[in-house]
Structure 1
């Protein structure tokens, strides 16, 4: 499942560089996560790095984009194939 940054975001800038898939960008008011790029760091790390570094705990599961571990790995493979 993709992750989502909620309204508690203070725009501290630490999550964007922590994302290995470049799924995080500055939105109009707060940072946003692109669900097409977010793999919850599956295939990179044991836990989502944005969640690890977030000082205000404003990153939640995006219930509108449910995905299994297998689907997240397949998404990662597609993303990596696109980089090649």
Structure 2
């Protein structure tokens, strides 16, 4: 079965915390893996930045990143080793 979307691992928060960024039909998604549990949420893109909303344990956490940083990751398809603000 062919995977229809591109997938990049953008953060490895710890051994049990992995965040992956997905691109499919011009929509960006996040999968947050915590001890095998997948948390799914959309990424909202604005003109000057990238906003990620992750719902985890009934808490809403909003992260802001610069979109050029993610476009660079898309273009090279490499792992972002920075821990950034997450």
Instruction: Please give the TM-score of this superposition, normalised by the length of structure 1.
Output: 0.31
Say which structure is richer in helix. 1
Higher strand share: 2
Question: Scaled by the length of structure 2, what TM-score is found?
Answer: 0.30
